[in-house]
Amino acid sequence: MTTQIMLVPGFWLGAWAWDEVVPLLRAKGFDVTSLTLPGLDGSGADVGPGEQADAIAAALDRDADRRVLVVHSGAAVPGTVVLDRHPDLVDHVVFVDTAPVVDGFAMNAELDTPTLPIEAAWDEEYEGGSMRDLTEEQLATFRSRAVPQPGRTVTEPVRLTDPRRLAVPGTVVCTAFSSDDYRSYAEQGVPFLAGLRDHTALRLVDLPTGHWPMWSRPAELADLIAEAAAG
């Protein structure tokens, strides 16, 4: 049986973000693809969640017996759109320190610049603990290779219409916050986690580290992804 694992990084990142995870999953026998989303390839393309979702859907292998979509951080936005447009195309979804979004969600509708560069968020992310467990070398690589996030991916609300997306099996890997915190914040109405209240087939697991576990704990993250992929 062929199982494709599609790895999609979050804001500012390209396929390279998964370089440490890819060989670990391939060694376990999976067909692994890491994807650079439109607008994050250095082209400066003006794209929104819909265009990014189209790219994810196009890269999923229709001939595979099983398809596992792994989305990190802000990639949950186009990832959820894929579930809504193609609920039968994803057999399992893994949310890495993120969660499915709800209809009408926008990351920051008030952003008034054409892009969101990493410099605009660096201090807040660092001081808030998101970069926990990253080495100075990893931080330097992150900062030097980060690409400005297209503004429309931040400001444009998603449109979700197919309730079948709510039943797609999934795993939420909770890193910067615990699974108990995730559930609590969702019940409190935190917008980015609101989808946790609606999706009916999600399992939450803990991997205590920062927001970028593909760098801080790649082996452990690969094991959790492999477990989800194996069903």
Q: What is the pLDDT of residue 45?
A: 83
For residue 97, give Cα distances in angstroms to 22, 28, 57, 100, 214: 18, 23, 21, 11, 11
49-81 pLDDT tens trace: 999 999 999 999 999 999 999 999 999 999 999
Residue pair 121/211 in contact by the 8 Å Cβ criterion: no
Taking the whole predicted model, whether its pTM rises above 0.75 is answered as: yes
**65/97 Cα distance (integer angstroms):** 27
Q: What is the mean pLDDT of residues 130-147?
A: 97
Residue pair 69/79 in contact by the 8 Å Cβ criterion: yes
**153/116 Cα distance (integer angstroms):** 9
Q: Give percent of the chain with pLDDT exceeding 90.
A: 97
Strand ranges (E), the chain? 3-8, 31-34, 66-72, 92-96, 115-116, 149-150, 170-174, 202-206
Return the closest-CA partner of residue 170 out of 86, 104, 229: 229
98-115 pLDDT tens trace: 999 999 999 999 999 999
Could you tell me the pLDDT band of residue 9, with boundaries at 50, 70 and 90? very high
**How distant is the alpha carbon of residue 51 from its chain centre?**
16
Query: Is the model's pLDDT at 44 over the cut of 90?
Result: no
Q: What backbone torsions phi and psi does residue 20 show, to the nearest 5 degrees?
A: -80, -25
CB atoms within 10 A of CB 102: 18
**171/183 Cα distance (integer angstroms):** 14
Query: Is the model's pLDDT at 231 over the cut of 90?
Result: no
